[in-house]
Structure 1
Amino acid sequence: MKKFLYILLLIFPISCSSLKYTSDMKMLVELDGKWLFKIDPEDKGLEQLWYSSNFDRTDWTEIEVPGFWERYANFSKYDGIAWYYKSFRIEKIDKSKKYAIFFSGVDDDCGVWLNGEFVGEHRGYSDEFYFDITKFLKQGINEIVVMVIDQGGPGGIYKPVKIVEYSKVEELLKGEFYYKKARTSPDWVKDAVIYEIFPRAFSPEGNFKAIEKEIPRLKDLGISVIWLMPIHPIGEIKRKGTYGSPYSIRDYFQINPDYGTEDDFKSLIKTAHQNGIKVIIDLVINHTSWDNNLIKEHPDWYVKDENGDIIPPNSDWTDVADLNYDNPELRKYMIKMMKYWIEKFDIDGYRCDVAELVPIDFWNEARDELDKIKPILMLAEGSLPEQHLKAFDLTYSWNVYDALARIVRKGHLPSVLDAVLQSEMYKFPKGSIRLRFNENHDKPRAVRYFGENGALVSALITATIPGVPLIYNGQEYGDTTNISLFEKQTIKKDTSDERGKKFYAFYKKLFNFRKNSLALRRGEMIKAITTNDDKVYAFWRRFDNETVLVIANLSNWGVTTKLKIDDVLKKKIINGTVKFYDVFEGKNFVMRVDDFTNFKLEPFEFKLLSIN
C-alpha cells in the first residue's frame, strides 16, 4: 500500500511536516539528520535492552532521517524490526511548560524510549502521532531510541521528527486537512452496511447464481451494499496456490468463467437493486498478472528495474507485475475500463485495492469522469486524509482495528480508542467517512483473533461509532474458517449450533436497528462515562430527539461504572427514571437514575439502548 509514497520520498526527501504551529506552540528541537541504526532480524533488542542509555552502539550504522532504510544498499530488501538512536541537547527546560515528541510518519509500527524510559507505542504507518514527554525530558543531553516494526514494503522513520513545546493537545493533533471539507457523499453511502463477498468461497458452487439466491437473506440481515472481491479471470503465470489470487488480474474487461457469464452478473446486480442493495466490485489497478495482455501490448506501462525487466510491486507479490502511472495512456485505459463496468453492468462503484499505490491525481481525474455517469461509492483501501477531498467517499480505518486489538487482546484501556478517534477528527477533512471493521479478507477471522466474546463486542463498537461498518462473508455466523486467497474453501453458514445462532441474531438486530436509527447514522458521539480507569467503553449517539446508549465491558471480569447524566439526558427523566428500549433483548425497560451511578456489567457484557 505504500510504494508510490516510497518512490517519491526516495527522490524528494521530505523536509517539512504538516504540523501546524500556533502562537502557543513552538519548535524546541528538530531531530532530522544523522541517527544510528541497526536491524534486529532475530528480535533480540528488547531482551538485550537496546533502548537503555548505556547500551554499546559502536557497531550501529549512521543513516539519515527522514527516509526509508531501503535507500541504503545493505538494507534494500530488509523487512522486520530495526532500531534508531539519536542524542540531542536541550539548553533550558521551563517547568511550567509541556513538551511532546511529534512524529510525522513511521512505517509501520514503533515503540519509543527517551533517556531509557518507555514513552509509548504507535501502530499504523499513515498517521502523524505524538507522545507527551514532559516528565522524561531533561536539561542537557537526551537520548531517544525508536524501535520500528516493518510489516513489509518500505520501512523506517520516513517523515520528520520534532520536539515541541505546547499548551493544548489540539495544537499537536490538527493537521493540514483539518481545515478542509471532505467530498459530499449520497445518503445511501453514509447509511451503508457493507458485506464483503469472496465469490469462490461464498458457496460450494462459487458463482454469481449462488450469491443471487442469497440476496433476500442479506437484505433481511440489514445489508445495503455488497462488495464483490475481484471478478476477473486470474493469471496463471507465477500463480500462487491451486486457484491463484483474485488480485492477479488477467483481463480487466472479462469475467472469471468460474463465476458465470455476463448475463449471470447482470442478473445478480438486477436482483440486488430490486432488493434495495447496491453492488460494488474490487478494482485492482496497481498491478496485473504476468499473462495480462497489457504486458505484451504495452510493456512501457510497467515499472522496470535497472536492467529493463518488469518487476513486481514488492518481493512478496511475485504473482503480479507493477504498473507505472507516469504513462498517460495507461491512465486513459484504466478510466475507460472503470466507465465500462458502470455503463454496461450498472454497478454502483468500486473498492479500490491498495489505493495509496496509485497516484491521487489519477483517482481525482477518474472520479470526475465516473461522476458524469451516476452517483457511485468509491472505497479506498487506504487511510490518507487527502483521499477524502475529491476521489473517495470512504477510507479504511485500520487505526480503529488496531486500537480494538490492543484493548481486547492486550488489555489496554478503552481510552486508546478515544485517542484514535480524537486524532482522526483532527487529521481528516470535516465530513470524512471511515470504514469500520473487526474483520476482512486481509485480517484473521474475528472469532479467532478476538475470541468469541471479543468478536461480538468489537463488532458492536465498529457498527455504532461514526462511520460505515463492514462485515466479511461468514462473519454473521461466527465462522472461523481462515479463507485462503489461493485455494478453494467454503465459508460455513450454520445457525444450527449455538454460536451460529447467537452471532446471526446479533448481527441481524444490530444492522436492522442501525438502518432505522438516525442517531447511529448521523448523530454526534458523546462520551458516557466519567473515568478511564476501568475496562468499560460507553458513549451516547444523539440526533434530534433520538438518543442511543452504547456500553460495553471490554474485559473478562465484572465491572461497575458510573454513567454521565448531562442536560440532554435530564430531559428524559420522569419520576426519577428513564425508559429505554433494549435492542438485543427486544423489549422496553425502566432504569432508575440512581442506577446510572452504579451500572454493573458482567464480563464482556454489552448493551445497545435507545431512548426515543
Structure 2
Amino acid sequence: MRVAAALSGLRQPSSSQFMWQKLRVRRSNKKRISTDKRKSSMAAVMSKHSFLYELNAYAFVKRLSKQYQKRLSLMTIPPKEWKSITSSGFDYLWLMGVWKRSPEAHRCALEVPEWRRGYNEALPDWNEGDIAGSPYAVYEYTIDSFLGEDGNLLEFKAFLNKLGVKLILDFVPNHFALDHPGSRTNPEAFVQGTAEDFKKYPDLFFETHKSRFFAHGRDPYFPAWPDTVQVNYFSDSFRDRTMRLLCQLSQIADGIRCDMAMLGLSRVFQNTWGSFLKEKMPEKEYWLEVITAVKKKNPEFIFIAEAYWDLEWELQQLGFDYTYDKRLYDRLLHASPQDVATHLRADISYQRKSVRFIENHDETRAVTAFGKERSYAAAVVVNTVPGLSMCHDGQQEGRRIKLPVQMATEPGEESDRETQEFYEILLKYATAEPIKNSVWNLHEVTSAWEHNESFRNILAWSWTHKTKAKLIVINYSSANSQGKICLPDNWLANSPVNFEDKLNGEVYTWDPLELKAQGLYVKLAPWKSHFFELRIPENKTIKKKD
C-alpha cells in the first residue's frame, strides 16, 4: 500500500544525524512539570507492563543476507529468525528505518565530517557501500526497495500479528528529506527564508529551485540537520496532509514512534522559528489535532513520543500513549539510587505511559555506557517497573559498538554469552505474569542495623496478582549493601514464606512473624539483584505464638 500520495509529494525525513549525540535533559526556567511534582504515595495500583524491541531494518536484512549467503528482504527472511526475536516476550516490534531513503541525504551522509568520524569509530575500514543515508531523512513513505516492495509492510504486519506481536514504524514529523518533492509542490508546508536569511545563516538555510530558500530541520540546542528541510507546524496545508498520511499509516502498522515529538509543540516551534514565520500560532496543538483524528478511525493505534526537556507529561495529555523516559536513563547513568527511587514515586498514570530504556539507536551501547555489571542492574530496573520497556537489537548480546544511523553495515562483534544468559533469565522473568498485568508497589527499604547506611543503595518493588507475587531487589551501587525490605501484611500468614530467586535458583525461607516485625533482610554484592517469586497465602491472618 502506497501512502506517499497522501502528501502529494510530501515525503518525510527525520531528526537524524545529530541525534546520535547524547541528548541531555535540559531544565527550563519556564513552567514545567517535573517528576518530583508528580509524586504519589505509591500505594499498590494496577498497572500494565509491555515490552518493545527496536530493530534496525536495513542492518538486519543486510546481516541476514550475509548469514544466508543470498539476497534477502523483509518477507524472504526465514520466519524462524523473526520468531527468535518475538519469542522473548515482546509485545511490539519497532522496525526502525523502513521508508525510502533520500539520494541527497545519502550524499550528505558521505560528506559531513562529523558523521564520517562516527563511521571511522564504528567500522574503520568502511566504504561508500556501507553508507545508506539516514533512515530519518525519508524521501517517500513507501518501503525502501532494499527491504521489499509495495504491499510488504501490510503482509509483514499480518505475519507479526499472528505471532501476537504488534508492528511499530517511524513517523518523523519535524522535517523531511532535503530533496523531498513537497518543497516544490507545497512550499507553504515548510519554513522559508529570504536571500538575506540565507546569507546571514548559511548553515540554517539552503537555496533550491526558483531561488527559494528553505530552512533545515533542527533541534534548537544543536546545529541544523543538513540533510533535511524543516516543516511548518503552523501551516494548515502541512497539518491536513500529515493527518491524512497518518490515517493511512494506521492501516499498515499498529503504531508509530514519533521522532523528536516535542519539537511539534506550538510554543517550542514558535520559540525556535517564530522570527521566520508569517502564520500565527494555531489555537489547537498539532499533536492533539492529529492524534484525535487518527484515533477516531483506529482507536487502538499507538503513538510513542521521543521526547525530552520535561515535556513528556504535556505530550501524554495531548494523547500520546507512551513518551520516552530519558530522565530515568540519566538518573541510572549519573545519579544515586535514591534519585532513581524518587523518580519511581511519580504518579502511576505518568509511569504507565513511560518508555524505559538503557539503550536505543541514539544512545551509546549499554555495556559501553554503564559497564557490564552496572548495565545488568540498570536493565533489571527498566524491565521490571511500570510502562513500556524498550530493548535495542544487540543489547541482549552485549554489543559494545554504536552504529551511526546512516550506516547499513554492522561491525563484526562476537556475542557475550554471559550477557545473553542474563537477559534470557531477566526477560523470561519480566515478561511473564504477574508482571505483565497486575499490581505494582514500590517497597520501603530500611537499615539492616544501626549506622549501616548501605540500605540507601537498595531498590525494591513488587508485582502481585491474586496468590502470586514477584519481588525485585537491586543493589544499585558499587558497594556491598544490606537492608530490610518492608513487606505487605497480606503476604504473610502462619506458615514459613519461601522466596525463590529465579536468577540463581536459591530458595530462602523466612518465618512470617519475623518478616512482619523486621522485614526481609537482604545482602547483595555490587550491582546484584534478586528475582524473587513467592505465593501469597489464602489465609492472610498471622497468629501469634504462645
TM-score above 0.5: yes
Q: Is the contact made by 1:355 and 1:381 (CA closer than 8 Å) also made in structure 2?
A: yes
| 2:430 match: secondary structure | helix
| 1:371 match: secondary structure | helix
Q: Does residue 223 of structure 1 match 2:90?
A: yes
| Equivalent residue for 2:26, pick from 125, 128, 142 | 125
Task: Give the letter for the 2:418 counterpart.
Answer: K
| Equivalent residue for 2:395, pick from 467, 470, 475 | 475
Task: Give the letter for the 2:430 counterpart.
Answer: R
> Aligned residue pairs: how many?
426
User: 1:121-200 maps to which residues of 2 (within 5 A)?
Assistant: 124-125=25-26, 157-159=28-30, 173=37, 190-200=48-58
Q: Is the contact made by 1:363 and 1:391 (CA closer than 8 Å) also made in structure 2?
A: yes
Q: Which residue of 2 aligns with 1:312?
A: 216
Q: 1:291-350 deviations in whole A, cap 9, x for unaligned?
A: 11111111121112354621113324111110001111111111111122232x3x1010
| 1:438 match: secondary structure | coil
Tell me how far apart the structure 2 counterparts of residues 545 and 389 of structure 1 sit (CA, whole Å): 35
Q: Does residue 250 of structure 1 match 2:139?
A: yes
| 1:441 match: secondary structure | coil
C-alpha root-mean-square deviation of aligned residues, in Å?
A: 3.1
Q: Which residue of 2 aligns with 1:92?
A: none
Q: Does residue 441 of structure 1 match 2:312?
A: no
Tell me how far apart the structure 2 counterparts of residues 158 and 363 of structure 1 sit (CA, whole Å): 24
User: 1:476-555 maps to which residues of 2 (within 5 A)?
Assistant: 476-490=396-410, 499=416, 501-519=417-435, 521-531=437-447, 533=454, 534-555=456-477
Q: Does residue 289 of structure 1 match 2:177?
A: yes
Tell me how far apart the structure 1 counterparts of residues 406 and 349 of structure 2 sit (CA, whole Å): 38
Q: 1:356-397 deviations in whole A, cap 9, x for unaligned?
A: 112372222222222233311110111421222242110011
Q: Identify which range, 328-337 or 547-556, moves more after superposition.
A: 547-556
User: 1:94-113 maps to which residues of 2 (within 5 A)?
Assistant: none
Task: Give the letter for the 1:214 counterpart.
Answer: E
State the identity %.
22
Q: Does residue 330 of structure 1 match 2:330?
A: no
Tell me how far apart the structure 1 counterparts of residues 334 and 426 of structure 2 sit (CA, whole Å): 24
Q: Is the contact made by 1:201 and 1:490 (CA closer than 8 Å) also made in structure 2?
A: yes
| 2:143 match: secondary structure | coil
Alpha-carbon shift at residue 555 of structure 1 (Å): 2.6
Tell me how far apart the structure 2 counterparts of residues 490 and 221 of structure 1 sit (CA, whole Å): 23
Q: 1:326 to 1:390 in 2, by over 3 A?
A: closer
Q: Is the contact made by 2:487 and 2:520 (CA closer than 8 Å) also made in structure 1?
A: no
Alpha-carbon shift at residue 552 of structure 1 (Å): 1.3
Q: Which residue of 2 aligns with 1:368?
A: 292
User: 1:392-407 maps to which residues of 2 (within 5 A)?
Assistant: 392-407=320-335
Q: Identify which range, 386-395 or 430-439, moves more after superposition.
A: 430-439
Q: Which residue of 2 aligns with 1:563?
A: 485
Tell me how far apart the structure 1 counterparts of residues 49 and 342 of structure 2 sit (CA, whole Å): 25
Tell me how far apart the structure 1 counterparts of residues 352 and 459 of structure 2 sit (CA, whole Å): 23
Q: 1:213 to 1:321 in 2, by over 3 A?
A: farther
| 1:372 match: secondary structure | helix
User: 1:455-470 maps to which residues of 2 (within 5 A)?
Assistant: 455-470=375-390
Q: 1:185-207 deviations in whole A, cap 9, x for unaligned?
A: 9x9xx442100011122242384
Task: Give the letter for the 1:251 counterpart.
Answer: E
Q: Is the contact made by 1:403 and 1:417 (CA closer than 8 Å) also made in structure 2?
A: yes
| 2:50 match: secondary structure | coil
The gaps in structure 1 that reach 5 residues or longer are: 1-78, 80-107, 110-122, 127-156, 162-168, 179-184
Tell me how far apart the structure 1 counterparts of residues 435 and 57 of structure 2 sit (CA, whole Å): 34
Tell me how far apart the structure 1 counterparts of residues 312 and 487 of structure 2 sit (CA, whole Å): 37
Task: Give the letter for the 2:438 counterpart.
Answer: R
| 1:475 match: secondary structure | coil
Task: Give the letter for the 2:89 counterpart.
Answer: G
Alpha-carbon shift at residue 568 of structure 1 (Å): 3.0
Q: Which residue of 1 aligns with 2:158?
A: 270
Q: Is the contact made by 2:216 and 2:226 (CA closer than 8 Å) also made in structure 1?
A: yes
Q: Which residue of 1 aligns with 2:12?
A: none
| 1:214 match: secondary structure | helix
Q: 1:495-541 deviations in whole A, cap 9, x for unaligned?
A: 5xxx3x33333333333333332345432322241156442222233
Tell me how far apart the structure 1 counterparts of residues 369 and 511 of structure 2 sit (CA, whole Å): 37
Q: Identify which range, 235-244 or 471-480, moves more after superposition.
A: 235-244
The gaps in structure 2 that reach 5 residues or longer are: 1-17, 41-45, 66-71, 111-130, 198-211, 267-284, 448-452, 536-546
Q: Which residue of 2 aligns with 1:590?
A: 509
Q: 1:162-213 deviations in whole A, cap 9, x for unaligned?
A: xxxxxxx99x8259xx9xxxxxx9x9xx442100011122242384243855
Task: Give the letter for the 2:103 counterpart.
Answer: E
Tell me how far apart the structure 1 counterparts of residues 79 and 413 of structure 2 sit (CA, whole Å): 16
Task: Give the letter for the 2:226 counterpart.
Answer: T
Alpha-carbon shift at residue 589 of structure 1 (Å): 4.7
| 2:104 match: secondary structure | coil
Tell me how far apart the structure 2 counterparts of residues 609 and 549 of structure 1 sit (CA, whole Å): 5
Tell me how far apart the structure 2 counterparts of residues 271 and 463 of structure 1 sit (CA, whole Å): 26
Tell me how far apart the structure 2 counterparts of residues 174 and 565 of structure 1 sit (CA, whole Å): 24
| Equivalent residue for 2:264, pick from 351, 358, 362 | 358
Task: Give the letter for the 2:55 counterpart.
Answer: I
Tell me how far apart the structure 1 counterparts of residues 302 and 256 of structure 2 sit (CA, whole Å): 6
Which of the pair has the greater relative contact order for Cα pairs under 8 Å at 6+ separation?
A: 2
Task: Give the letter for the 1:551 counterpart.
Answer: V
Alpha-carbon shift at residue 558 of structure 1 (Å): 2.3
| 1:208 match: secondary structure | coil
Q: Is the contact made by 1:192 and 1:468 (CA closer than 8 Å) also made in structure 2?
A: yes
Alpha-carbon shift at residue 429 of structure 1 (Å): 5.5
Q: Which residue of 1 aligns with 2:302?
A: 377
| 2:213 match: secondary structure | coil
Q: 1:436 to 1:336 in 2, by over 3 A?
A: same
Tell me how far apart the structure 2 counterparts of residues 227 and 433 of structure 1 sit (CA, whole Å): 17
Q: Is the contact made by 1:520 and 1:548 (CA closer than 8 Å) also made in structure 2?
A: no
Tell me how far apart the structure 2 counterparts of residues 589 and 220 of structure 1 sit (CA, whole Å): 30
TM-score with structure 2 setting the length: 0.71
TM-score with structure 1 setting the length: 0.64
Tell me how far apart the structure 2 counterparts of residues 607 and 339 of structure 1 sit (CA, whole Å): 45
Q: 1:510 to 1:492 in 2, by over 3 A?
A: farther
Q: 1:116-169 deviations in whole A, cap 9, x for unaligned?
A: xxxxxxx7236xxxxxxxxxxxxxxxxxxxxxxxxxxxxxx54269xxxxxxx9
Tell me how far apart the structure 2 counterparts of residues 257 and 353 of structure 1 sit (CA, whole Å): 22
Tell me how far apart the structure 2 counterparts of residues 296 and 207 of structure 1 sit (CA, whole Å): 32
| 2:344 match: secondary structure | helix
Q: Is the contact made by 1:524 and 1:543 (CA closer than 8 Å) also made in structure 2?
A: no
